[in-house]
Amino acid sequence: MDLWLKEMQLEDAGIAMTYKVKETLVRKKTQFQDLAIVDTEVFGRMLVLDGIVQTTIKDEFVYHEMISHIPLFTHPNPKKVLVVGGGDGGAIREILRHPSVEKAVLCEIDGDVVEECKKYLPEISCALDDPRCEVFIGDGIKYVKEHKNEFDVIIVDSTDPFSIAEGLFGGNFYKDIYESLTEDGIFIAQTETPFYLPETVKKVFSDAKAIFPVTKMFMAAIPTYPGGYWSFTVGSKKYDPSQVDITKIPEMDTKYYTPEIHKACFVLPKYVQDVISE
């Protein structure tokens, strides 16, 4: 019998996505959400939270490279980095490839995500045991409030804006992020699909813009996220991520990110520009 995972990507919009499953490796109710890791025909192993695909072995490189290398190659000397969410460890893996980084803290609310990803997604979680990484299990909203003027880069690698992650999108959280950053710090967040959720994207961008002197959006192509074309928002106190001198970016062995992509990803199609313009 064939087994298919049906992700109600945007149920209200009448859209679902189905993946042929080879094997269910784990399925459990954690304290916070429904967690599954399944092995699929096309994308390999996949982390699914509350029925939504979070990351897969085949396409995770796009998201994790872009959410990490854009801010880390914008800041001239990032030493201390915070990831809020991201319990799979993919962002931590990419961050720790930057030699300037002395410490990377992962603040993930759900300890089961970290544990199961260590067990079933070692390609993604492999850097979580690096001595430069500290894993803190707790709510990112509280953590950021309690750590002022500490991080050069903060990466918000969160689930979609509902339930436990609702407070990770919007002005109140971005104010706390601003204060948690050092004087030339940079923040980045995954900010959803401008095609299907223009109102969400618009609000998140304008909330960030009200707080950060420099606010920019870029896009990347992620096959397993709704619409495939995903937005990220960067808020920066000083450096403009779209204006880095790409000739100075050192070589790194990557699959999506390149210096040219760094420059090009900030060029937005008209309909996306329209979503974020006042």
194 binds ligand AAT (CB under 6 A): no
Cα–Cα dist 38/271, whole Å: 35
88 binds ligand AAT (CB under 6 A): yes
Per-residue binder mask for ligand AAT (CB under 6 A), 100-139, x = binder: -------xxxx--x-------------------------x
Cα–Cα dist 153/156, whole Å: 10
Read off the tokens for 227.
Answer: 């619409």
Residue in the structure block whose two tokens are 């930057």: 98
The DSSP letter of residue 20 is E
Question: Is 157 one of the catalytic residues?
Answer: yes
Of 96 and 113, the one with the shorter C-beta distance to ligand AAT is 113
Q: Residue 82 CB, nearest distance to ligand AAT (Å)?
A: 11
Report 23-82 residues binding ligand AAT (CB under 6 A): 49, 52, 54-55, 63
- For residues 49 and 34, the answer to whether their CB atoms sit within 8 Å is yes
Which range, of 38-46, 97-105, 154-162, 267-275, touches ligand AAT by CB under 6 A?
154-162
Q: Is residue 117 within a helix (H) or strand (E), and if so which, with residue range? A: helix 111-120
Q: Among 25, 22, 18, 2, which Cα is nearest to 51's? A: 18
Cα–Cα dist 33/250, whole Å: 40
Per-residue binder mask for ligand AAT (CB under 6 A), 200-229, x = binder: -------------------------x----
- For residues 140 and 68, the answer to whether their CB atoms sit within 8 Å is no
Pick one of 78, 140, 185, 194: the residue that binds ligand AAT (CB under 6 A). 140
What are the residues binding ligand AAT (CB under 6 A)?
A: 49, 52, 54-55, 63, 84-88, 90, 107-110, 113, 139-141, 157-160, 164-165, 168, 190, 225
